[in-house]
Amino acid sequence: MDSIWIQGGKRLEGKIPISGAKNAALALLPCALLTEDKLTLGNLPRLADVDSFGHLLNQLGVSTMVEGVRRGEYGRRMTLHAADIASTVAPYDMVRKMRASILVLGPMLARAGEATVSLPGGCAIGDRPIDLHLQALECLGAEIELAAGYVKATAPKGRLAGGDYSFPVVSVGATENALMAAVLARGRSQLFNAAREPEIADLCNLLVAMGARIEGIGSSHLIVEGVEGLHGATYDVMPDRIEAGSYACAAGITGGCIELVGARPGDMCSIVNALCHAGLMVEFNDHGVKVTADGKLKPLALTTAPFPGFATDMQAQFMAMLSLAEGDSFLEETIFENRYMHVPELRRMGADVEIRGRSALVHGVEKLTGASVMATDLRASMSLVLAGLAAEAETEVLRVYHLDRGYERLEEKLSAVGAAIERRSSG
Ligand code: UD1
């Protein structure tokens, strides 16, 4: 099994190209199910989750063709073709590996009039139910049955009618599923209190490029006029704001200066605010975002919230950075119930963090020390890498497969800005 080894203490300086957004890619890929034409997606990050999604789509009868990738280049282009949907069943062995598989439910139901998807079950960061996905689809006219660990959704007379749904809690995935179902419905649909994450706007923009009619893009009130059919399109995945934010924290924790090439400042307002309050200098230019730190970090109070609030996917990375701030920081996690699993590992590296329910008090320390640490989930793993970049001596991050789900060629990107980091295989 691979692990990542880091010799800490190097100041990072240089440029890091930001890859296509994982979370956007996972919402754009299932759009292939909505049309019998070809869909070509560019700037797809080379990640384990994207590969798994491709395999799931293959099982449903979608052909996928990846264009040759040149050495040293990031991203890739994939053409997906769902001429026919061969199976409308997404089995447990696929869904269990990747929760985002639930995103085939809406588009498959819209196109084929039925869809059967395994219930995803819990995951490391919390329960993560799918009740809102199902309620939204019911409001669009679907009939839902739950049996033997599967959800079966059917559109009466083969096509959804469309309808209105108000989300009681903001949900990124449920908004995406509802959107992909609504675009082919017979009538008009309205989604109230929809998620406003930039990845949702990316999904809407692709759907519009495929012929969908959507108003209110970027807002929490989305109005969809269903159309008879969608056509193919060619579309580039947006840049990954969470990857960019993670490397900004790498500049912060090492007192370095990193240019995040291709990052879009407008997608990163709350992250940029937090970086500035922590004492980093953030500049925007035509190429992206440049982050400069002077080695001193100020403590922060941060509460995670749906966009445009502070992203839960950045909480662990900020915690690692703030563990070296001059004073006490307060973090509050409001989205997922179990998102502090990095804390025991950070403590093993010398961080001083107290957890009280959903809050964490981070007492800044003078230094961190390298250790062997265990990654537990994707963003938690990145917080350990960040701590390792600043720690004295060597850090080994185990269970690297978590990182491979969401960071394209991490060690290559960090080495290029001066980190002493490598992947070692233990056989
Ligand atoms: C997506 C992101 C994930 C990010 C999260 C919140 C992808 C692939 N993943 O996850 O990286 O951390 O948004 O920004 O895009 N909820 C329910 N019932 C539901 C659905 C959600 O109660 O049917 C709850 C969840 O348990 C959670 C909250 O709503 O407490 C938000 O979850 P949601 O926005 O749906 O997250 P995901 O789409 O799973």
pLDDT at residue 72, rounded to an integer: 66
Residue nearest to atom 7 of ligand 1 (CA): 23
| Ligand 1 atom showing the smallest separation from residue 131 Cα | 23
| Ligand 1 atom showing the smallest separation from residue 128 Cα | 26
pTM exceeding the 0.75 threshold for the entire prediction: yes
User: Which residues have a Cβ under 8 Å from the Cβ of 131 and sit 6 or more positions away?
Assistant: none
Distances (CA, A) of 202 to 110, 240, 284: 20, 11, 21
Whole-number Å distance, alpha carbon 283 to ligand 1 midpoint, is: 31
Which residue ranges in the chain fall short of pLDDT 50? none
Question: Of all helices (H) and strands (E), which one includes residue 271?
Answer: helix 269-277
Residue nearest to atom 33 of ligand 1 (CA): 171
* Residue 156 DSSP class: G
Active site residues: 123
pLDDT at residue 288, rounded to an integer: 96
Structure tokens at 189: 């649909």
Residue nearest to atom 8 of ligand 1 (CA): 23
Residue nearest to atom 4 of ligand 1 (CA): 313
pLDDT at residue 120, rounded to an integer: 82
Angle, vertex CA 424, rays to CA 422 and CA 425, nearest 5: 155
The full set of domains in the chain, from first to last, is 2-19+239-425 (3.65.10.10), 22-236 (3.65.10.10)
Whole-number Å distance, alpha carbon 172 to ligand 1 midpoint, is: 6
Please count the CA atoms within 13 angstroms of the CA of 224 that sit on its side-chain side.
34
Whole-number Å distance, alpha carbon 159 to ligand 1 midpoint, is: 27
Q: Helix or strand or coil: residue 153?
A: strand
Whole-number Å distance, alpha carbon 384 to ligand 1 midpoint, is: 23
| Ligand 1 atom showing the smallest separation from residue 311 Cα | 14
Residue ranges lining ligand 1, Cβ < 6 Å: 23, 26, 100, 126-133, 169, 171-174, 195, 312-313, 335-336
Structure tokens at 137: 């689809």
Residue nearest to atom 11 of ligand 1 (CA): 313
Burial 91-121 (b: 16+ CB within 10 A, else e): ebebbebbbbbbbbbbbbbbbbbbbbbbbbe
| Ligand 1 atom showing the smallest separation from residue 378 Cα | 11
